[in-house]
Amino acid sequence: MKIAAFHTLDAVLRGGSFAAAALEMNLTPSAVSMQMKQLERYLGQTLFDRSGLQVRPTPAAREVAASMQEGLQRLAVLRRQVSVSVEGTVRLGIIESMQPVLGPGTMKILQQRYPRLDLRPLRGRSAGLTEMVKAGSLDAAVVAQPEKGGGAGLRWHPLERRELLLVAPPQSPEPSVGALFRQYDWIRYDRGTVTGAMAVRYVNAHVRERRPSIELDNVPAIVAMVSAGLGISIVQLSDPGITIAYPVRLLRLGRGAPALQMSLVMRKADADDRRLLALQAAMAETLASPMRRRAVVGLS
């Protein structure tokens, strides 16, 4: 049994389907299906319920993935450790919402292990940072991955998938998304961003009646306004700590909820660059840390 099958299993669970895993792992859906069947034979148990129209993971599949996660991450770190020095400069673009999530932990790991590696972060928007990676003015960037395409010559490494949430005033009694949109103004997140465009499509498809809207380009400002009772919004919260400063009510959007894929993007030609491999490993370790896993927000 190849270790790659366990990576594919993790991709299936995160992506929700064989097709999504195939896209992430650069495989065909049939190859993903074959790997999962081989894994089932190896483990001697059923990992997927194939009785319906859609293949669904069993509890055993999630248990296997969880038990293998730490080991796979450690193996990845060990495999990327090289005897030669990792040094030089990495120009890293990173969107604002991911800076508190990845910045401190990643920089601490790199400073401890690779003191001669100079990480130079640059803040920006996903589209602009991706174009800078394409043009070679950035070595890599942490951005919201486009739902389609993504640019020829680029390689995407998934970091974290975040479901968009509806944020409402803390004492709002309305029981549903529709009722909240009828009661409160809609504070939209910038429609020029991946998140903003996803939110607009969701509202247009699922909300029949809604009050007037305003548009802002800063999530903390939006959450602060919602906390003050000035409206509702649909955003992604990479940093749950913001809800401590500005208490809000958080609701899942349920079936059809849009989800944002945060990824590290680099040029395919640089995929084996030791500096970027060290960066990618440090980010994976940061996201897998116990402190990060405990950062859970309460949802209605």
**Burial tier of 10 (Cβ tally within 10 Å: 0-12, 13-18, 19+):** buried
Cα–Cα distance between 64 and 8 in angstroms, integer? 12
**Burial tier of 70 (Cβ tally within 10 Å: 0-12, 13-18, 19+):** exposed
Cα–Cα distance between 40 and 37 in angstroms, integer? 5
Please give the single-letter amino acid code of residue 225.
M
Structure-token match 């299993």, residue found: 9
Equal CATH topology for 82-160+261-293 and 165-257: yes
- What local confidence, expressed as pLDDT, does residue 94 receive? 96
The 3-state secondary structure of the chain, one letter per residue: CCCHHHHHHHHHHHHCCHHHHHHHHCCCHHHHHHHHHHHHHHHCCCCEECCCCCCEECHHHHHHHHHHHHHHHHHHHHHHCCCCCCCEEEEEEEEHHHHHHHHHHHHHHHHHHCCCEEEEEEEECHHHHHHHHHHCCCCEEEEECCCCCCCCCEEEEEEEEEECEEEECCCCCCCCHHHHHHHCCEEEECCCCHHHHHHHHHHHHHCCCCCCEEEECCHHHHHHHHHCCCCEEEECCCCCCHHHHCCCEEEECCCCCCEEEEEEEEEHHHCCCHHHHHHHHHHHHHHCCHHHHCCCCCCC
* CATH code of the domain occupying 82-160+261-293: 3.40.190.10
Per-residue pLDDT of the chain (300 residues; tens, 9 = 90+): 678 888 899 889 988 889 888 888 888 888 999 999 999 999 998 999 988 888 889 999 999 988 888 787 777 766 655 445 788 999 999 998 888 889 999 999 999 999 999 999 999 989 899 999 999 999 999 999 887 766 778 999 999 888 899 999 999 999 889 999 999 999 999 888 888 888 999 999 888 888 878 899 888 999 999 999 999 999 988 777 788 999 999 999 887 788 888 999 999 999 889 999 999 999 999 988 765 544 444 454
- Cβ 113 vs Cβ 81: under 8 Å: no
Residue 208 CB-half CA count within 13 A: 2
Q: Across the strands, what pairs with 165?
A: 235, 252
- What local confidence, expressed as pLDDT, does residue 230 receive? 94
Name the superfamily (CATH) of residues 165-257.
Periplasmic binding protein-like II (3.40.190.10)
Residues 6+ apart with CB under 8 A from 83: none
CATH 1.10.10.10 fits 4-79, yes or no: yes
- What local confidence, expressed as pLDDT, does residue 235 receive? 92
For the chain, the structural domain boundaries read 4-79, 82-160+261-293, 165-257
pTM for the structure as a whole: 0.63
